[in-house]
């Protein structure tokens, strides 16, 4: 949080509370992370959640010119059920989601309606057909008029999945569509009162994809609400979680302990890393669990980095090695490289999902980092679609996008 001469008592109390919340013990552990400092921009850029106006203009130009892979990605998106103008929203007052979305009482409906709203927002921007903007608004209005809470064990994660997607749609519509959105204030209230409280404090003892997804949501919501205090808090949690999720040899003989958690011994850490006791560059905390959850962690990590870059702080140079090793490590095994016995007992559960496009573009195309395995995997899977949770159409939005 930026502190200046004009700060008042309430802001001082908030800063102190945030510092205490992010404090970690015991200090004796060298691999325990210190609180990370995050400073929100003085004024947020809009649209500015995952996609900037310059990025969207680049995509629109490529699609209109019929250039690949953007045209194929756009055609796939518009042919999907998410872009259907006859889609009927299915809002609920209470969304109940248990572990692995069982029970699924509105969980899939909520996530998919959020993806549909984002899909329609992208279609509006690219085509300028107001029918898509109106459909996106219809979906957002339906949920903002109804939803009150999330319940059961997966409530924070469900709030992260949907809460990361809603503001991407809202940013595009609010800041580019001039046809009016009378209930925009109600939608903002929904983000502030229903989603943000579920995600803003993270889940320090859960598998790391939870906290990364929740911060994806919290950062995006904070941008849409122009909420600098929440942005700072979410970014500080993210900046502490990333080094504790992706290992580098420079971290020392073991990964960093997750900040704010109760995990503070080596045996607890190995258990938390799903039994893996040998650590190599790029290994993730959930690699030995499965690539599906790891892919979600990677995607959320890159989403926040992309939003941060749009908002004026480029995290890619700061995390360049951690990101490139994480992407390359998982890409090579996803492509079929033999798994050594020292890694997860010689067996991996693959299925990374459409998680690599944003990071590959940022590191390889913008920073010039060599990423052979990540490039092969990314290009072989174009156009990337959606995994129906919170990753959607990232070949369209981020393939070779220089902006």
pLDDT, one tens digit per residue, over 151-175 is 999 999 999 999 999 999 999 999 9
pLDDT tens digits along 224-257? 999 999 999 999 999 999 999 999 999 999 999 9
Q: What does the pLDDT read at residue 274?
A: 98
pLDDT at residue 13 in the model: 39
For residue 66, give Cα distances in angstroms to 52, 60, 182, 212. Answer: 21, 10, 35, 35
- As a whole number, the mean pLDDT across the chain is 92
Written as six digits, the tokens of 344 are: 């997860």
Whether residue 381 is predicted with pLDDT greater than 50 in this model: the reply is yes
Report the alpha-carbon distance of residue 378 to residue 193 in Å, rounded.
37
Three-state SS string over 80-120 comes to CHHHCCCCCCCCCCEEEECHHHCCEECHHHHHHHHHHHHHH
Q: Taking the alpha carbons of 232, 233, 237, 238 in that order, is the dihedral positive or negative?
A: negative
Q: Shortest CA distance to 195 belongs to which of 174, 167, 172?
A: 167
Beta partners for 151? 96
**192-212 mean pLDDT:** 98
Helices (H), 191-315: 196-199, 208-225, 228-245, 266-272, 291-310
* CA-based nearest residue to 137, from 189, 85, 74: 85
Q: Are strands 104-105 and 149-151 parallel, antiparallel or unpaired?
A: unpaired
CA angle 311, 316, 321 (to 5 degrees): 165
Pairing state between β 149-151 and 48-49: unpaired
Work out the average pLDDT over 353-371: 98
341 Cβ partners below 8 Å, 6+ apart?
none
pLDDT in tens, 91-109: 999 999 999 999 999 999 9
pLDDT of amino acid 36: 56
The whole-angstrom separation of Cα 295 and Cα 47 is 26
Q: Which of 354, 208, 229, 377 is nearest to 283 (CA)?
A: 208
CB-based burial, 58-89: b 16+ in 10 Å, e otherwise: bbbebbeeeeebbbbbbebbbebebbeeebeb
Say how far apart CA 358 and CA 281 lie, in whole Å: 20
Spatial separation of the C-alpha atoms in residues 317 and 310, rounded to whole Å: 14
Helix (H, G, I), strand (E, B) or coil at 251: helix
Residue 308: CB partners within 8 Å, gap ≥ 6? 219, 235, 314, 315
Instruction: Look at residue 8 in the predicted model and tell me its pLDDT.
Output: 40
Which among 297, 318, 278 is positioned nearest to 157, based on CA atoms?
297
Question: What is the rounded distance in angstroms from the CA atom of residue 119 to the CA atom of residue 82?
Answer: 6
pLDDT band at 38; cut points 50, 70, 90 = low
* pTM as predicted: 0.91
Q: How confident is the model at residue 39 (pLDDT cuts 50, 70, 90)?
A: confident
Taking a C-beta distance cutoff of 8 angstroms, is the pair 386, 161 a contact? no
User: Which of 18-27, 54-63, 148-157 is least confident?
Assistant: 18-27
pLDDT for 326-355, tens place per residue? 999 999 999 999 999 999 999 999 999 999
């Amino acid at each position: 949080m930026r502190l200046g001469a004009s700060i008042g008592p309430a802001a001082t109390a908030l800063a102190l509370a945030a510092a205490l919340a992010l404090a970690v013990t015991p200090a004796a552990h060298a691999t325990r992370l210190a609180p990370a400092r995050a400073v929100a921009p003085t004024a947020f850029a809009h649209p500015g959640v995952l996609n900037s106006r310059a990025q969207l203009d680049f995509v629109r130009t490529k699609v209109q010119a019929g250039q690949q892979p953007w045209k194929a990605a756009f055609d796939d998106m518009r042919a999907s059920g998410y872009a259907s103008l006859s889609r009927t929203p299915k809002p609920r007052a209470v969304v109940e989601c248990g572990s692995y979305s069982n029970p699924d009482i509105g969980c899939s409906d909520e996530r998919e309606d959020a993806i549909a709203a984002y899909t329609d927002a992208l279609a509006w921007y690219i085509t300028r057909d107001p029918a898509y903007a109106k459909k996106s608004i219809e979906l957002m209005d339906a949920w903002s008029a109804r939803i009150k809470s999330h319940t059961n064990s997966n409530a924070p994660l469900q709030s992260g999945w949907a809460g990361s997607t809603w503001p991407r749609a809202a940013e595009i519509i609010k800041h580019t569509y001039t046809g009016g959105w009378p209930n925009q204030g109600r939608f903002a209230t929904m983000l502030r009162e229903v989603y943000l409280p579920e995600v803003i404090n993270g889940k320090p003892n859960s598998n790391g994809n939870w906290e990364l997804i929740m911060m994806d949501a919290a950062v995006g919501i904070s941008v849409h609400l122009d909420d600098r205090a929440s942005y700072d808090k979410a970014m500080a949690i993210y900046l502490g979680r990333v080094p504790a999720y992706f290992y580098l040899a420079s971290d020392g003989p073991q990964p960093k302990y997750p900040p704010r958690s109760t995990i503070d011994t080596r045996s607890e850490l190995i258990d938390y890393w799903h039994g893996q006791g040998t650590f190599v560059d790029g290994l993730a905390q959930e690699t030995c669990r499965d690539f599906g959850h790891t892919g979600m962690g990677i995607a959320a990590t890159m989403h926040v980095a992309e939003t941060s870059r749009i908002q004026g702080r480029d995290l890619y140079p700061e995390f360049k090695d951690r990101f490139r090793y994480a992407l390359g490590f998982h890409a090579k095994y996803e492509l079929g490289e033999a798994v050594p016995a020292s890694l997860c007992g010689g067996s991996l559960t693959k299925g990374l999902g459409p998680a690599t496009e944003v990071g590959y573009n940022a590191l390889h195309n913008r920073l010039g980092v060599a990423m052979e395995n990540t490039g092969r995997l990314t290009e072989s899977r174009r156009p990337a679609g959606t995994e129906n949770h919170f990753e959607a159409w990232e070949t369209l939005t981020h393939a070779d996008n220089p902006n």
